[in-house]
Structure 1
């Protein structure tokens, strides 16, 4: 495909005083790459990789305009001039690649996720209306504080202009402070900021006015809103449309950035970074309605992972620009590849949420399970050269082996990958069989393309043994032999009908009507197998060795899954360890007091008890004395994220 394949997506657009080379946007998202609240080398390198890769516009992550806005430890703050040097360095780095740069200005209101020192801060909102997700009771903002915070937005915008940015974006999406004033269920004020729509939009309109007073005419001012908060007592689509029309009427706003959902509820929060079960571009109709009602430039964000999808949205008039944020976390070069017609070479995001927003929630810098360089540009951005071409044998064709082989071959080595199965992919082939996880198979497609581009010789259906290793005469071997299901010892294991998750997913075993899933890992396997069997009509009890199903996976994925389990009638039993089984019962222990819990009338026990490394070939290689490198589950069973990262490192080490 050529550039003409994406005439809408790759066309120029002018917003205020800013002209962009294309319609691809990296929207504001938390990276955890700031350095003590300031922008430093790591964040600059991260955003510059997307600018180099062809992004038309980059919007930086939320920056706090006021001391009352602190909602996480060590946030970026723009409430003093100390922020200007960091943003200035970022602007110079981004602008040299012909990419626009806009900063998000933020106040969470009652949406307080954490604090700076562990003590709960006082949160402020339009009214004393608590939120459901974080259980925060806010303090109503006095009028003098509203005036102060309004001015803080304007002062922050002035600082961004001084730093050389093209504009700012007011974050009113996902139920944050500006949206709390908009929402009649939250805003119960009786003064000029509550009641009528005009009053409820006053806070936003005054912020925009203050920014306009303190910045030059061409400086871009945008507003991010949820087209529908999709939450209990959230702002619905019709209310938001009326609000947008009222805000736009003043003709001081340059664009709307439209998303969905709300931070205030668990159900609404999944739309902050919608998991793979959400349809591609599902927010586009919300943006289209706002665009048609207001006539303003509109950016749409929400599961737009491929240029083909963005092209359709823009060409059809649903939006002027597309936020492709996770798509660029996964492949920063998506813009340049689309322009060059290399769409088959794009590493497509699979919406797993594990290393992007999952890292943020766990307090770690952003990355991607498929692209470990994301967030590690300063450490892994440069590929080490080879001193001489070597003959490399990679054993195992799961994500770890595929990545290792591709990286080693890309560097210039002669690489052959051996996989004993007829297909590549390892456990990813099983993961894609679970409900709402089909897109996970995209990691196999993406890595297969990397193998093709790097020229790896792939040999499938070949079981490696000592004779083959001797025959190949490798200079170095990368072992990526993976793991196998763990079957712990327990009473009655040989008497009851016991199977493991792999056997279930491969369709190798019959399953009785009444099932107990014994989930030791509390990850996507146990919760997914329980949902799969319930969908097929089985009566399912999910016994979890933790305090909830999916305890170890990203919260948006987990929470949505728990909701589906409830709808399917799955009984979840937390704090359980497997003790034993017989012909019709499963015996559990409460992990806090060892008291017995008996599940009666059980036909089948399904084990989701983790994995053990497959080290058979490692033993052989050690005996032969050949240089070798371990990667992935054969070191220690974990996830695809660690497998791909270690594969990259192994491919660079040989």
Structure 2
């Protein structure tokens, strides 16, 4: 049985272990190029021991395949020098590197890039990307084959060890799937016909790049959708690829990501079963002699071991796991598996990309910021006394980083346990894995021997008695009463999730924020048997969430009987016996309607708990201010503006203003890594 750390021979290339980072698009591109931010992100994984990093998720090859989520563009020669710098950087740290290329077909937008019609085998619209595609003519097909050839040549000149051609759900996969191919020419009908374009592309690319460079195909193992590619179809397609003689590696995945829930089932956030398609990959491995790679929600070492040692795959993709900890392999090799920062399926990385924003890991703030923030914290030249007030994720990260810098750290926490708001965030069923963030941070501060003082509501004298050099205020925020007539009749989401308030019957849950807290609250209420209507003034429920996490949350809420109302704001409440009459105003028309319910629960963000900060501010050397340019650049962020000050002071996270967990952890890392 193979071990994760065993080397693997892929054609002429010896991979140093079985762990891969598969192709994805973190949206770090500049003008379609992989410049320094992109390069350093992948170099970090190479430093951390990954065997193979596959870059360029959905690298576009033609102007009629525009980037809609920050992909590379290999449609002209300007990318070649940037490719070379990227491959040299990764190779320097002992990892292999491949680039994925694709034509997205209908899986993109027509009103971006050069505003060219999107292409597809048939004129069937995809719900996720929404374009009505042009039905491809033979001339389009011939041109696209040439585009693949030119892009492959650029990858070869760029120094890659291999090239991956993406089929699944993109143009080649759209020709292959009966869901999307309704042609009646030589490219439609029987599986062999639907496979024709893929084989023509492979023939042309192999003729261009020669026999030495590795060619991988990322293909579907089962669309798991009525009318789509069956498992038997996919096995037959894999055998055709093997028989072509051009393919050296098959990268297997499953599902049909043609709408938001389909995308979520492919790139899984928490709330869905983990790694469900390992057996799909194993079925393909049993049918062909080619090496098999699989990535699909494999977030932990135990699952990865099972996939490899169980004979399901030869190589295992742990892409998001290495966004959470790019040094995952190195820690495993050192016998420090328990120190690996876990991917808990927050989905923040994928959803930000699908919202047109750069990917970040929900709880590793250094990922994607390698130019300014370290993954490996080094010792400071001088030892300082750091006092952190607040044991939520921001405070825990501040304590962790400060201790790794070699400082003496005291952590005050007012409650009887660490974790802060994550204690509440983990109460629902769908998002309960979020506690994994707190679990890891608590484990780290314990291992590092930090002086943790629970049940201590720290006041200014408590802090001053420690004679600190640095004080970090991570006291978070607190929900306030909604400022409307009858606002005192509302119950906060915190009161529901903490169990402080007993809620039953018919509940109106008013969400002013559009993020996870309302979804978790609705989940908990429905789980307790309440009839819940989730109401928002936004035009969509959970407006600020991306497609994968919102799709899973809404699916689970709907399955538990939660109903949804948009474009309504809560204006007043009146007690009527044991019930509450709520007035709602339509935000567009101004029309007012009323609801009689048992309870009104409200989620509208937090007000900072900043009293201690303001008490300490006059005694600080910097009046509590951080210098923004230094903070962003990763250098010491404090400037002395008070000659009589005794310490440097900063506040982070919700103690500044209501944001999210990533913001609190980023604040902590930025402030403390340079102290």
Fold shared per TM-score above 0.5: yes
Match of 1:29 in 2: 24
CA shift, 1:385, in A, is 6.7
Does 1:360 find its partner at 2:353?
yes
Q: Is the 8 A contact 2:25 2:353 kept in 1?
A: yes
Following TM superposition, by how much is the alpha carbon of 1:490 offset from its aligned partner in structure 2, in angstroms? 2.2
**Structure-1 residue corresponding to 2:316:** 322
Does residue 562 of structure 2 align to residue 541 of structure 1?
A: no
Match of 2:364 among 346, 371, 391: 371
CA contact (8 A) 1:70 1:115 kept: no
Tell me which residue corresponds to 2:373.
380
Cα deviation for residue 287 of structure 1 reads 0.6
Q: Which moved more, 1:623-632 or 1:100-109?
A: 623-632
> How far off its partner does 1:26 sit?
0.5
Q: What's the CA shift for 1:158? A: 2.3
Counterpart position of 1:639: 660
Residues 199-235 of structure 1 show CA distances to partners (whole Å, capped at 9, x for unaligned) of: 1011111111112111232311111123233456543
Task: Please give the alpha-carbon distance, in whole angstroms, between the structure 1 residues aligned to 2:314 and 2:454.
Answer: 46
> Which residue of structure 2 aligns with residue 126 of structure 1?
121
| Structure 1 segments unaligned to the other structure (5+ residues) | 1-5
Corresponding position: 1:102 with 2:98: yes
CA deviation profile, 1:130-151 (whole Å, cap 9, x unmatched): 2222222111111122122123
RMSD: 2.0
* 1:3 match: none
Decide which moves more: 264-273 or 337-346. Answer: 264-273
**Partners in 1 of 2:197 and 2:265 — Cα distance?**
25
Which sits farther off after the overlay, 343-352 or 202-211?
202-211
- In 2, distance between residues paired with 1:466 and 1:536? 41
Q: Relative to structure 2, which stretch is displaced further, 32-41 or 345-354?
A: 32-41
Residue range with higher mean Cα deviation, 425-434 or 88-97 = 88-97
TM-score, normalised to structure 2, is 0.91
Where do 5+ consecutive residues of structure 2 fail to align?
Answer: 621-646
Report the CA distance shift for 1:243/1:448 in structure 2 as closer, same or farther (over 3 A).
same
Corresponding residue to 2:387 among 368, 390, 393: 393
Give the one of 148, 153, 160 matched to 1:158.
153
Cα distance in structure 1, aligned partners of 2:161 and 2:357: 29
Match of 1:468, SS state, is: helix
Deviation at 1:607, TM superposition (A): 1.5
For residues 257-406 of structure 1, what are the structure 2 equivalents within 5 Å?
Answer: 257-354=251-348, 356-381=349-374, 386=380, 388-406=382-400
**Partner in structure 1 of residue 564 of structure 2:** 572
Distance (Å, rounded) in 2 between the aligned partners of 1:470 and 1:569: 52
- What's the secondary structure of 1:281's corresponding residue? coil
Equivalent residue in structure 1 for 2:172, among 170, 173, 178: 178
Match of 2:588 among 561, 577, 592: 592
Change (3 A) 1:275 1:236: farther
CA gap 1:131/1:364 in 2 versus in 1, 3 angstroms: closer
Offset of residue 643 of structure 1: 0.5
CA offsets, 1:32-80, max 9 Å, x none? 1122111211111110000110111110122112222113276422223
**Contact 2:70/2:356 (8 A) holds in 1:** no
| Matched-pair contact (CA < 8 Å) for 2:25–2:71 | no
CA contact 1:406–1:651 (8 Å) conserved in 2:
no
Q: Is the 8 A contact 1:350 1:443 kept in 2?
A: yes
Q: Indicate conservation of the 8 Å contact 2:109/2:118, yes or no.
A: no
Post-superposition offset of 1:160 = 1.7
In the TM superposition, residue 567 of structure 1 has moved relative to its aligned partner by: 2.4
CA contact (8 A) 2:66 2:109 kept: no
Question: In the TM superposition, what whole-angstrom CA distance separates every residue of 1:325-378 from its partner, at most 9, and x where no partner exists?
Answer: 000001000011111110010000111111x12221232322212111111111
CA distance in structure 2 between the aligned counterparts of 1:342 and 1:146, rounded to whole angstroms: 51
Query: 2:70, 2:353 within 8 Å by CA — same for their partners in 1?
Result: no
Alignment-derived partner of residue 241 in structure 1: 235
Return 620-629 or 338-347, whichever deviates more.
620-629
Superposed counterparts of 1:552-567, under 5 Å? 552-567=544-559
Per the alignment, residue 78 of structure 1 pairs with: 74
Aligned counterpart for 1:525 among listed residues 503, 514, 517: 517
Q: Which moved more, 1:285-294 or 1:615-624?
A: 615-624
SS in 2 for 1:69: coil
* CA distance 1:74–1:646, change in 2 (3 Å): closer
For 1:196 and 1:206, how far apart are their aligned partners in 2?
16
- The alignment partner of 1:379 has SS state of coil
**What is the count of residue pairs matched by the alignment?**
643
**Aligned pair in 2 of structure 1 residues 652, 357: CA closer, same or farther (>3 Å)?**
same
Aligned-partner SS, 2:236: helix
Q: Which residue of the partner structure matches residue 107 of structure 2?
A: 111
1:364-401 deviation per Cα after TM superposition (whole angstroms, max 9, x unaligned): 32221211111111122386874532211110011111
What displacement does 1:420 show?
Answer: 1.1
1:135 alignment counterpart: 130
Provide the rounded CA distance (Å) in 2 between the counterparts of 1:58 and 1:85: 19
Check the 8 A contact 1:420/1:463 in 2, yes or no. yes
Distance 1:300 1:75, change over 3 A: closer
Label 1:163 to 1:627 Cα distance change in 2 as closer, same or farther (>3 A): closer
1:500 counterpart = 2:492: yes
For the pair 1:513 / 2:534, whether they are aligned, the reply is no
Distance 2:301 2:88 in 1: 27
Are 2:187 and 1:193 aligned?
yes
The answer (yes or no) to whether the contact 2:534–2:565 under 8 Å persists in 1 is: yes
**Distance change (3 Å), C-alpha of 1:465 and 1:375:** same
Q: Does the 8 A contact of 2:493 with 2:601 survive in 1?
A: yes
Point out the more displaced range, 20-29 or 132-141.
132-141
Q: 1:25 to 1:365 in 2, by over 3 A?
A: same
Q: TM-score, normalised by structure 1?
A: 0.94
Mapped contact 2:322–2:328 kept (Cα < 8 A): yes
8 Å contact from structure 1 (residues 521, 545) kept in 2: no
1:232, 1:265 within 8 Å by CA — same for their partners in 2?
no
